[in-house]
Copies of this chain bind each other. A is one copy, B any other.
Amino acid sequence: MDTTEFRRRGKEMVDLIADYLENIEQRTVYPDVEPGYLRSLIPEEAPEEPDTYEDVVKDIERVIMPGAASPACTELETVMMDWLGKMLKLPEDFIAGTHGQGGGVIQGTASEATLVALLAARCRAVRMILASDPQRPETGITSKLVAYSSDQAHCSVERAGMIAGVRMKKIPTEQSDKYAVQGETLRRMIQEDKAAGLIPFYFCATLGTTPSCAFDHITELGPICNAEKIWMHIDAAYAGSSFICPEFRPLLNGIEFADSFNFNAHKWLLVNFDCSTMWVKKRSDLIGAFEMDPLYLKHDHQESGRYFCTDNSLFRSLKMWFVFRIYGLKGLQDYIRKHVELAKEFESLVRADQRFEISADVVLGLVCFRLKGSNEVNETLLKRINNGRKIHLVPCLLSGQFVLRFALCARTTESRHIREAWQLITQLAEEVMQELPH
């Protein structure tokens, strides 16, 4: 949608809202629909080709209004998470459908999803142990639990451990392994911890780490977790969107071993913030860990569904519905592919310049690079680049080396922006190198 169409559609939407407000007293205050009413009103999968904007807007009255905010919100969320799960070719276990035990739920951020999974895992672990040893005090169990994640994992994983009050151990990674967690390392840590009387219960794998977009080997790690009854959560916050393209889907192989999986649809799938999409194999694991039952939350259909939705007032699934239909699966794939191509274009420019080096494999839309030389010269270059305020780079440390990260993330980025950015970077690099003492 270009800005000309945006102006027209935006104004139509303002009128739609005003009409709704003017006529609100003609509507009932509570919906009159049966649980599951929504699923039959819309297709089972996202369209390949875009729908028309008119059709999308017409469906607000046809599909949403009969169910008002609730249950329409929960039902649309369940179905949209199925649509997206199918776009990602998730195993059937993660799809709610009408009879599945798994399904998806929208969180605000990947940090929330990591925490929610950790809390569900803690609850499952405590219940499993109490089932075999009912006399054991619960606080005694919690104090023995141990969780794991990569030393490349996002800091929110460590914070989730702090919040849940459990040990979180970082698994060391190596440059020679491309910063991916190895099965052998996890296996050894588990054995050592069990020998010391601890109870391993949670592993957060990362697909696409923040520093270098590294991918943990989940095909190796998953079976270890399954054998040890360790909850495996997969955090693919950034990389997850790319798995809708068949050529990137192999990066998700091993998902069948996971208990939960999450990525940020708001990061790279054109859905506005916030919309972090999370799937679990067993909805009951999540519901059971947070369930409360006061009278003021009871309703007539208490026992009919047991689906979940984190927030009825934000209605985040509407954004997914609009985006999936306005772009179609093909439009979204095109968008992902374009960013990866632009990253490859930037990588070629770096590789063609002898003064620079690439610091990690370019798999998706992130290019890690640096000037051959000291950390100081790279820090100076970064400062010079960011002070110009034309482009903005966020650095990282990889094996002690200060690395610049060029990340593709704007909807409107074109090849000319890549070339302009590189021209600016090389010009500033030249200045920085000339100022160096010889």
Copy tally for this chain in the complex stands at 2
Bound CA span A159–B290, Å: 7
Asked, given contacts A18-B10, A140-B143, A211-B296, whether A290 binds B162 with beta carbons under 8 Å apart, the answer is yes
**Does residue A394 face the partner (Cβ distance < 8 Å to B)?**
yes
Interface size on A, residues (CB 8 A): 59
* B294 A155 Cβ-Cβ under 8 A: yes
Verify B296–A395 contact, CB threshold 8 A: yes
Residues in B with CB closer than 8 Å to A296 are 210-211, 394-396
CB of A15 closer than 8 Å to a CB of B: yes
A313 touches B139 (CB 8 A): no
Smallest beta-carbon distance A169→chain B, Å: 15
Looking at the complex, which one of B17, B22, B295 makes contact with A396 (CB distance below 8 Å)? B295
User: CA separation between A140 and B17, bound complex, in Å?
Assistant: 56
CB pair B14 A7 closer than 8 Å: yes
Set of chain B residues within 8 Å of A159, measured between Cβ atoms:
290, 292
Whether A314 and B274, one on each chain, are in contact in the complex, defined by CB atoms closer than 8 angstroms, is yes
Distance in angstroms between the alpha carbons of A142 and B139 in the assembled complex:
8
Task: Check A163 against B119 for contact (C-beta < 8 Å).
Answer: yes
Question: Which of A27-35, A42-50, A89-97 is the contact stretch?
Answer: A27-35
Residues of B within 8 A of A211 (CB): 296
| A163 touching B164, Cβ below 8 Å | yes
Are A30 and B143 within 8 A (Cβ)? no
Q: How far is the CA of A193 from the CA of B260 in the complex (A)?
A: 39
Select one of B18, B266, B313 contacting A274, CB under 8 A.
Answer: B313
B30 contacts A392, C-beta separation under 8 Å = yes
Q: A22 to chain B: which residues have CB within 8 Å?
A: 3
Interface flag for A390 (CB, 8 Å):
yes
Q: Does A386 contact B (CB under 8 A)?
A: yes
Confirm or deny: A349 has a beta carbon within 8 angstroms of a beta carbon on chain B.
no
Residues of B within 8 A of A313 (CB): 266, 273-274
Cβ contact of A18, chosen from B7, B32, B166, B392, cutoff 8 A: B7
Shortest C-beta distance, A213 to chain B (Å), equals 13
For A16-30 the 0/1 string (1 means CB < 8 A from B) is: 011001101000111
Chain B residues contacting A32 (CB-CB under 8 Å) are 389
Does A165 touch B at the CB level, under 8 Å? yes
Minimal beta-carbon separation of A102 from chain B (angstroms): 23
Distance from A150 Cβ to chain B, minimum over Cβ atoms (Å): 13
State in angstroms the CA–CA spacing of A6 and B289 once bound together: 43
Answer yes or no: A60 CB below 8 A from chain B CBs: no
Q: Tell me if A391 is interfacial: C-beta within 8 Å of chain B.
A: yes
The verdict on A158 contacting chain B, using a C-beta distance below 8 Å, is yes
Among B6, B143, B289, point to the contact of A21 (Cβ < 8 A). B6
When chains A and B are docked, how far (Å) is the Cα of A289 from the Cα of B159?
Answer: 9
A interface residue numbers (CB < 8 A to B): 3, 6-7, 10-11, 14-15, 17-18, 21-22, 24, 28-30, 32, 108, 119, 122, 137, 139-140, 142-143, 155-156, 158-159, 162-166, 210-211, 266, 273-274, 289-290, 292-297, 311, 313-314, 386, 389-392, 394-397, 412
Q: Can you pick out 5 interface pairs between chain A and chain B where the beta carbons lie within 8 Å of each other?
A: A10-B11, A14-B14, A30-B392, A108-B108, A273-B314
